[in-house]
A and B are shown apart, each in its own frame.
Chain A
Amino acid sequence: MSAEAHGATLVAEQFDDFEQQKQADTFGMWLFLVTEVLFFGGLFCGYCLYRNVYPEAWAAGSHLLKVTYGAFYTALLICSSLTMALGVRAAMLRLKTSLTVYLILTWIMGAAFVYIKLRYEWYGDFLEGLVPGFNWAPHGENLEMINHFHALLPHVSLFFIFYFCMTGLHALHMVVGVGLLTTLLIFTQQGKNTQGNYNWVEIVGLYWHFVDIVWIFLFPLLYLIGGRYV
């Protein structure tokens, strides 16, 4: 292949050529995503079980979350996936400026996701006394909603545990993603990602899209249960 285009020094010594390295890196990242599916999967399993055992508590808990936040996050992440995919494309075409722009845009959206979630949504939940283990004490309209569904407080608390665990684990992955993007930006500035070796951008892209997919499932499962027609 065009080894000189990739630079012989860009191929690690255990690999025969650039193509093998690229395939190995990509396959490795897909396998890592499989482990992530099973990692989140344990939480999804618990969620499914309790949702079927305490449907009223799940519906009540879901109504205590704000759909506006959920829908906004979903749109934000889909947008960031777009910019990430366009970034990978720019790396393939060796367009350093475009790649930098798309990486920065993705970075901003990822950071905004985490910031808004923690500063506004979670802090708001905390102020309303909806954090089990810290200050679990639903009151006012929230308590009315719970009673409307005839749910028991400990079960709604269980819902909120899963809510915080699943979105928290997801947010943690977003933070890691933002860290990966930072590394990519540094490498791009050094000219490393636009010499035909777009591997790294592609595999960070895979990771980013996966985190987006997790949110695509979390949104309806946490925010839209029991219907919003009540």
Chain B
Amino acid sequence: MSTVAVEVPSLPEVHYLNADYGWRSWLFTTDHKRIAWLYLISITFMFAIGGLSATLMRLNLIEPSGLLFEPATYNKLFTAHGLVMIFFFLTQSIPTVLGNFLIPIMIGARDVAFPKINLLSWYIYILGALIFVISLITGGVDTGWTLYTPLSSTYANTNVLSATTGLFITGFSSILTGLNFMVTIHKMRAPGMTWFRLPLFIWAMYATSVIFVLAMPVIAITLALIALERIWHVGIFDPGLGGDPILFQHLFWFFGHPEVYILILPSMGVISELVAAGCRKRIFGYSFVAFSSVAIAAISFMVWGHHMFLTGQSVYAGLVFSALSFAVAIPSAVKVFNWTATMHKASVSFDAPMLYAIGFIGLFTIGGLTGLFLASMGSDVHLHDTYFVVAHFHYVMVGGAIMGYLGGLHLWWPKMTGKMYPEAWARFACLLIFAGFNLTFGPQFILGYVGMPRRYTVYPAEFQVLNVMSSAGASILALGYLIPLIYFAWSAFKVPAAGPNPWGAKGLEWTVASPPPTHNFEETPIVTEEAYAYEPEAAHVG
């Protein structure tokens, strides 16, 4: 590379960021790339709220008797943390930021199928988030993010109604986004872009969109039923009036379990892209990885009862759910094996995106394997509602989903902004996040195993060491998240242009300028090669 006359990359004269100025051009935009930025800023703000509640929780847990909060307040904290992180940050993170930005470009389209509905989705999200944040500020909710009845529907005296209203509204944002993506991927692929030439990120986003369309309406109607019961005190879920609280749990988890696959599938799609770019090699077993996304989406709808083993559900139904939960681990394992096989004998570059990908593979594997302990009824009897569950889902949602999100942000940052982030700081932040994360959640596996229940503000004194370790890890993790925030913002100003393809990666998004023009392509590309068509000889040590 250094022997060739190097052309200093420069920003294109006109691109989507400077094509138009003024707040109206942003708030009334229909450009999917600008909408991605609108989401990026909004969800970062919500992440701060969720992170704040987590910080307060971990501070409280330094002392066995609870350092700062009464149980009633602590209940509101963990509920806020769960609801904000899941419904207002993670559900949106990769789909609406990276998905919105990349899907049309990766398939060779000028925009999504319904750009105005895309913008509407963002406004609906903002409305729901606003209502929800107001419900938090005016007192919050204390039922846990799972809103179990009859506590949430009858007995809670917190802001259940306003919170569920905010959640209900935001759900429609996701439904419309999923619908938009599905139609886009079906109908707007460039000539030659057959299904099996699509990047694996698109397959993952497609599977995610299917789940959006099928699962989110169910939570919508369930939230409406809670609201109904709260307002008119009719006994849909109240056993005193003939209702069945387990019905609520069935309805909730029919949505709730596919929801967690909404959270992880896009991240898996990102990892495929990170691994391919970082190894400059075709993903091993492309069709297996593609089909595994679809398989995960399908099977995920049939395992929801594994959240209900101990709540009065039939043992026989539990058996079926348990078996299917083991089955759903298989496609995930297929992905992990294929990513690893891709890295075999490849020249791996250890840039920040690749570091995030490697971190994901390790942490997601741990998270996934620990899920199997919870999927088998025998061990779940012991582990249900303990910190083991908390550690499991944080390994997949933070060690998995968020690492994928950050890795993707790093890989595509030069594409989105035309500027490169500082590599040394990025690697440092990644390692800090990895270390902080493991220190936070590793001890929680042990805490759960020895019996510390989740959602408790106090605990026996002999658990203090592990809790303090966890809280210490949380502070490191927080620092790790803060650093990219700073250097991403800084990179907008100080850094020279990155050029269209700083990674030397394959994919339609790397053939357009960085940042891309408003309509992505000067003329519609014609696709003639397979995805990840890297030349074997061209791989070099990065």
Q: Decide if A and B touch, CB cutoff 8 A.
A: yes
- Of the stretches A26-34, A63-71, A79-87, A217-225, the one at the interface is A26-34
CB distance A16 to B524 under 8 Å?
Answer: yes
**Could you tell me if B183 and A27 are in contact, using CB atoms closer than 8 angstroms?**
yes
Chain A 17-35 interface 0/1 with B at a Cβ cutoff of 8 Å (1 = within) = 0001001100110011011
Q: Is the CB of A39 within 8 A of B241?
A: no
Bound Cα distance A13, B518 (Å) = 12
Instruction: Report the interface size for chain A: residues with CB under 8 A from the other chain.
Output: 36
Check B220 against A14 for contact (C-beta < 8 Å): no
Taking CB atoms and an 8 Å cut-off, the chain B residues in 232-269 that contact chain A are 232-236, 241-244, 247, 250-251
B217 engages A39 (CB within 8 Å): yes
Q: Given A133-B233, A157-B235, A39–B244 Cβ distance below 8 Å?
A: no
Q: Say which one of A41-49, A118-126, A205-213 lies at the interface with B.
A: A41-49
Total A-B contacts with CB atoms under 8 angstroms apart: 106
B479 to chain A, nearest CB (A): 41
**Pick from A28, A42, A53, A152: contact of B114, CB under 8 Å:** A28
For A40, the chain B residues whose CB sits under 8 A away are 221
Tell me whether B113 and A14 are in contact (CB under 8 A).
Answer: yes
> Does any Cβ of B come within 8 Å of A128's Cβ?
no
Residue from the list A27, A32, A53, A134 in contact with B186, Cβ < 8 A? A27
User: Which of B221, B236, B251, B519 has the most A CB atoms < 10 Å from its CB?
Assistant: B221
- In the assembled complex, the CB of B169 is this many whole angstroms from the nearest CB of chain A, namely 14
- Distance from A107 Cβ to chain B, minimum over Cβ atoms (Å): 25
When the two chains form their complex, are residues B247 and A49 in contact, meaning their CB atoms are under 8 A apart?
yes
Closest A residue to B110 by beta carbon equals A14
- The complex places the Cα of A15 from the Cα of B115 at a distance, in Å, of 11
Tell me if A38 counts as interface (CB < 8 A to partner B): yes
Q: Is B213 located at the chain interface by the 8 A CB criterion?
A: yes
Give the distance in Å from the alpha carbon of A158 to the alpha carbon of B242 in the complex.
8
- B527 within 8 A of partner (CB): no
B109: interface (CB < 8 Å): yes
Q: Which of A172-217 contact B (CB under 8 A)?
A: none
Partner of A42, one of B110, B112, B182, B221: B221
Q: For B233, list chain A residues within 8 Å (CB).
A: 133
Shortest distance from the beta carbon of B312 to any chain A beta carbon, whole Å? 14
Task: List B178-234 residues whose CB lies under 8 Å from chain A.
Answer: 179-180, 182-183, 186-188, 213-218, 220-222, 225, 228, 231-234
Q: Kindly report which residue of chain B lies nearest to residue A134, judged by CB atoms.
A: B232
B227 CB → nearest A CB, Å: 11
Cβ-defined contact, B115 with A28, below 8 A: no
A158 partner, pick from B213, B220, B236, beta carbons under 8 A: B236
Report Cα–Cα, A154/B243, bound state, in Å: 9
Partner of B251, one of A35, A45, A50: A45
Does A145 reach chain B (CB closer than 8 Å)? Answer: no
Residue of A20, A32, A49, A54 near B188 (CB, 8 A) is: A20
| CA of A20 to CA of B111, assembled, Å | 13
Write the chain A residue with the least CB distance to B187.
Answer: A24
Q: Which residues of B contact A78 (CB under 8 A)?
A: none
In the complex, which residues 81-115 of chain B have their Cβ closer than 8 Å to any Cβ of chain A? 109-115
Do the beta carbons of A38 and B244 come within 8 Å of each other? Answer: no
Shortest Cβ distance from B252 into A: residue: A42
**Which of the listed residues B222, B225, B242 has the most CB atoms from chain A within 10 Å of its own CB?**
B242
Q: Bits for B417-461, please: 1 = Cβ < 8 Å to A, else 0.
A: 000000000000000000000000000000000000000000000
Residues of A within 8 A of B175 (CB): 35
Is B242 in contact with A155, judged by CB distance below 8 angstroms? yes
Tell me if A31 and B218 are in contact (CB < 8 A). Answer: no
**Do B213 and A31 touch across chains, with their CB atoms under 8 A apart?**
yes
Which of A41, A50, A154 sits near B218, CB closer than 8 Å?
A: A41
Q: What is the distance, in angstroms, from A135's C-beta to the closest C-beta of chain B?
A: 11
A14 — which chain B residues lie within 8 A by C-beta? 109-113, 115, 188
**CB-defined contacts of B112 to chain A, threshold 8 Å:** 14
Partner of A46 from B214, B232, B251, B519 at Cβ < 8 Å: B251
Could you tell me if A39 and B188 are in contact, using CB atoms closer than 8 angstroms?
Answer: no
Report how far A100 CA is from B459 CA in the complex, Å. Answer: 71
Residues of chain A within 8 A of B236, CB atoms compared: 46, 158, 161
Residues of chain A lying within 8 A (CB to CB) of residue B186: 24, 27
- A154 and B109 within 8 A (CB): no
Q: From the candidates A13, A42, A155, name the one contacting B217 in the complex (CB within 8 A).
A: A42
Looking at the assembled complex, report how far the CB atom of B167 sits from the nearest CB atom of chain A, in whole angstroms.
15
Residues of A within 8 A of B (CB): 13-16, 20, 23-24, 27-28, 31-32, 34-36, 38-43, 45-46, 49-50, 53-54, 132-134, 152, 154-155, 157-158, 161, 165
Q: List 15 extra interface pairs beyond A28-B180, A43-B225, A134-B232, CB under 8 A.
A: A13-B110, A13-B519, A20-B187, A20-B188, A27-B186, A35-B214, A35-B216, A38-B215, A39-B220, A42-B217, A46-B251, A154-B241, A155-B242, A157-B241, A165-B225
The 8 closest A-B pairs by CB, nearest first: A133-B232, A42-B221, A39-B217, A14-B111, A38-B217, A24-B187, A35-B217, A24-B113
In the assembled complex, 6 residue pairs joining A and B whose CB atoms fall closer than 8 Å, in A order, are A32-B179, A38-B215, A38-B218, A42-B218, A154-B235, A158-B243
